[in-house]
């Protein structure tokens, strides 16, 4: 029984040593990645996480935190990106609204009012005289 316990403890010690060696090898790599991202993004909290990892923090946890941060940032960027369809895909009714309106000839001596329609569409910036009655 004691021989079986000794073998089990020996296996646990070896597994723990392998785990420590793996973490020791990952730590400087994760610290460098976090520092680089902190410089690129101007995110001081990533620099603080890099400091925490270099002081003995879990590099796996920090790396997954970085991945979650980048996914959240990408989602925010996707939501804030506005896709504008090309002009050819706009409905014809909108195109007709932007066309100049033909006005009947105004009677000489009657006051006229000029209206300017301003939109982002280049054809919409027209000046049309309107007769007041």
Domain enclosing residue 115, as ranges:
87-131
Pair (51, 111) in one structural domain: no
Pair (63, 112) in one structural domain: no
Pair (39, 63) in one structural domain: yes
Residue 1 has what pLDDT? 64
Pairing of strands 112-116, 127-131: antiparallel
Handedness of CA 94, 96, 99, 102 (dihedral sign): negative
Specify the number of domains making up the chain: 2
Residue 77 has what pLDDT? 86
DSSP codes, 48-99 = HHHHHHHTT--HHHHHHHHHHHHHHHHHHHHHHPPPPPPGGGS-HHHHHHHS
pLDDT in tens, 84-127: 666 655 555 554 555 555 555 555 555 555 544 545 555 544 45
pLDDT in tens, 8-61: 999 999 999 998 898 889 899 999 999 999 999 898 999 999 999 999 999 999
């Amino acid at each position: 029984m004691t021989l079986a316990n000794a073998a089990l403890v020996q296996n646990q010690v070896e597994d723990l040593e392998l785990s420590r060696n793996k973490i020791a090898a990952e730590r400087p790599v994760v610290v460098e990645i976090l520092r680089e991202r902190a410089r690129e993004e101007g995110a001081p909290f990533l620099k603080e996480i890099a400091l925490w990892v270099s002081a003995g923090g879990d590099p796996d946890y920090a790396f997954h935190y970085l991945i979650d941060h980048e996914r959240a940032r990408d989602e925010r960027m996707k939501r804030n990106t506005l896709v504008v369809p090309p002009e050819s895909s706009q409905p014809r009714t909108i195109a007709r609204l932007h066309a100049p309106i033909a006005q009947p000839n105004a009677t000489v001596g009657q006051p006229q009012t000029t209206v300017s329609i301003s939109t982002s569409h280049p054809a919409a910036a027209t000046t049309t005289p309107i007769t007041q009655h």
